[in-house]
Amino acid sequence: MVCAPSWALAPRINYMLQCQGCHGPDGRGEPGHVPAIRATLVPLASLPDGRRYLVQVPGVAQSTLSDPELAALLNWTIETLGRVTPERFAAFTPAEVARYRHEPLVEVSATRARLMRKLR
């Protein structure tokens, strides 16, 4: 069996390969260990700092996926797990992903907590 390179895979497949192991097939995460993403993707994607956070989370930023693949994966995840139509949120672009992903996010938990407070 020959595996296609990641750039040839649909975002759904990239989610399965890159994200599902921790966040689960439906984005529920693992309470106390891995945050659920279903309910937070859309609100976070609506904030400039939240968008930066979604790209800078180590699992995303350090992924072997290209910037266009990550943008497509983020958009697919927001549409599918967040259950919104593409018209209802500003899509991530490869340029936006490229701008944020190479800035390390050291305080992941503290940043998420701050953003969650901001969303309340």
Question: Is 40 within a domain?
Answer: yes
Burial (CB < 10 A; 0-12, 13-18, 19+), residue 47, is middle
**Average pLDDT for 66-80:** 95
Question: Is 3 within a domain?
Answer: no
Question: Is 1 within a domain?
Answer: no
- Angle formed by the axes of helices 67-81 and 48-56, to 10°? 120
Instruction: Determine contact, residues 7/70, Cβ cutoff 8 Å.
Output: no
What range does the domain containing 16 cover? 11-20+34-119
Question: Is 113 within a domain?
Answer: yes
Q: How many separate domains does the chain show? A: 1
pLDDT digits (tens, 9 = 90+) for 19-68: 998 899 999 988 888 888 988 999 999 999 999 999 999 999 999 999 99
Nearest to 112 by CA among 52, 31, 53: 53
Instruction: Determine contact, residues 31/80, Cβ cutoff 8 Å.
Output: no
Question: Is 75 within a domain?
Answer: yes
